[in-house]
Amino acid sequence: MQTRLDQIRHNSNKIEPFKLTDIGEGIAEVEVIQWFVKEGDSIDEFDQICEVQSDKATVEIKSPKKGNVTKLYYKVGDMAKVGSSLIDLEISESNESEFNHKSSDLNPSSSKVSSSVQLENNFNFQNQILVNGKFLKVLATPSVRYIARKNNFDLSKIVGSGKDGRITKADLLNLLDQKSPSVINPEKIENVRSSNGKVETVDRVEKIKGYNRSMAKKMVESLSVPHFGYCDEINMNSLIKLRNDTKTYAKDKNIKLSFMPFIIKACSLSLKKYPIINSSINHDLTEITYHVNHNIGIAIDTPTGLVVPNIKNVQNLTIFEIASELIKIISLAQSNKLSHQDLTGGTFSLSNIGVIGGTYAKPVVIVPEVCIGAIGKIQKLPRYDEKGNVYPENIVQFSWSADHRVIDGATMANFSNLVKLYLENPGIMVIETK
């Protein structure tokens, strides 16, 4: 009997390989995270083909044409080289002309259509579901994902009635129609899709993927940097008061004002005085570049690992604007939707590990940056006043790491002192901010 794939192979339509386009940012290869199609599938223009991840971001690849998939070149977990073929697609003559027509509508100056796949940077919110604290893959066909996307519906919020919780078209359409949902509670399927509660008896080998792969690579790069460490404590009393005083005002403007925007601003003002902290050094150690812009990276703990997007041009932003940018990148990071732009071009970084706990840290400089600061947990601790009386203070420890090829101890200490001055006297920040 002739299979669908055989039929595809035997007809006279045109077979085109679709290549992974140059993503830019010097990325030479990406990891194939998952396929949304298999050989023999018919797909429409803009249907998802696969999800790939570079060191910089997760991206979704969509088909620029309608056709039948005749070959997948990679398995999940393989590294695909930029410029290599991802899939072969059989295009019928009519689809071909329809596609060319549409493309020339979009771009009148170009009659030639590139046969490279399209990359889009907006993916992932539909790929994982949290069940009893574990992240499991959302199971749905490309067409269901397509309908969900069109309706701005987050598939990770539901579990379908299909095998292993697969979301069927009927599940989704019922939900969209607000009929009684045929979906089931995520809690109930934990045993079906996890390891059935069995105790593992052999070592488990897992691929290092996504943000964790990027962290591994970045940290190896950082090994070439001789680190200098410096710690100091900062009294947060005034900042806590200022934050409390401005919290309601901020809330009315829909801004969640945490300590971070103040700390980021204090660092930016200090970078103005000590520009070498916002510099980078070239490979053969002959030149230092002093960066005009303060693109401050913020370490964010996400379900898929540590990621450090940066807020651009902090030197031009008010504390309020920084807060708004921070909320944006945290939300993008948590949904794995950060762009290359968000993840590149950082000039200095901060890591608020104190949200989780801990006093001191030994942060690692993110090459080519030359300095990173880690913020410990704010704690109420006993201190002495001038008369020797013990009284409670809100104290936080800052741990700085710097590239000792560029930054000496005195510069680091002076920079830290200035950050301390601003945070202990936030009124001075107001005076200095344009």
Footprint of ligand COA on this chain (CB under 6 A)? 258-260, 298-301, 306, 330, 351-356, 375, 377-378, 396
Minimum separation from the CB atom of position 362 to ligand COA (A)? 10
Selected catalytic residue, list 6, 22, 154, 408: 408
Minimum separation from the CB atom of position 298 to ligand COA (A)? 6
Distance CA 175, CA 183 (A): 9
Minimum separation from the CB atom of position 301 to ligand COA (A)? 4
Question: 274 or 398, CB closer to ligand COA?
Answer: 398
Copy the structure tokens of residue 327.
């909320």
Minimum separation from the CB atom of position 83 to ligand COA (A)? 34
Distance CA 328, CA 332 (A): 6
Copy the structure tokens of residue 187.
């809690």
Determine whether 404 is an active site residue.
Answer: yes
Minimum separation from the CB atom of position 309 to ligand COA (A)? 10
Minimum separation from the CB atom of position 353 to ligand COA (A)? 4
Q: Are 340 and 23 in contact (CB under 8 A)?
A: yes
Question: 160 or 354, CB closer to ligand COA?
Answer: 354
Copy the structure tokens of residue 116.
């490279």
Closest CA to 144 of 36, 263, 64: 36
Question: 285 or 356, CB closer to ligand COA?
Answer: 356
Residue with CB nearest ligand COA?
354
User: Which residue type occupies 424?
Assistant: E
Q: Torsion angle, CA of 298/301/305/306, rounded to 10 degrees?
A: 30
Q: How far is CA 124 from the centre of its chain?
A: 10
Minimum separation from the CB atom of position 330 to ligand COA (A)? 5
Element (H, E) at 233: strand 227-235
Minimum separation from the CB atom of position 338 to ligand COA (A)? 12
Question: 144 or 323, CB closer to ligand COA?
Answer: 323
* Helix 169-176, helix 142-150: angle, nearest 10: 10
Q: How far is CA 224 from the centre of its chain?
A: 25
The backbone torsions φ and ψ at residue 54, rounded to the nearest 5 degrees and listed phi first, read -100, -175
Q: Are 227 and 365 in contact (CB under 8 A)?
A: yes
Distance CA 295, CA 297 (A): 6
Determine whether 340 is an active site residue.
Answer: no
Question: 283 or 380, CB closer to ligand COA?
Answer: 380
Question: 18 or 211, CB closer to ligand COA?
Answer: 211
User: Which residue type occupies 48?
Assistant: Q
Copy the structure tokens of residue 122.
């907006």
User: Which residue type occupies 249?
Assistant: Y
Question: 356 or 431, CB closer to ligand COA?
Answer: 356
Question: 45 or 301, CB closer to ligand COA?
Answer: 301
Distance CA 206, CA 262 (A): 40
Q: How far is CA 275 from the centre of its chain?
A: 28
Q: C-alpha distances in angstroms, 179 versus 12, 145, 172?
A: 45, 19, 10
Element (H, E) at 42: strand 42-43
Active site residues: 404, 408
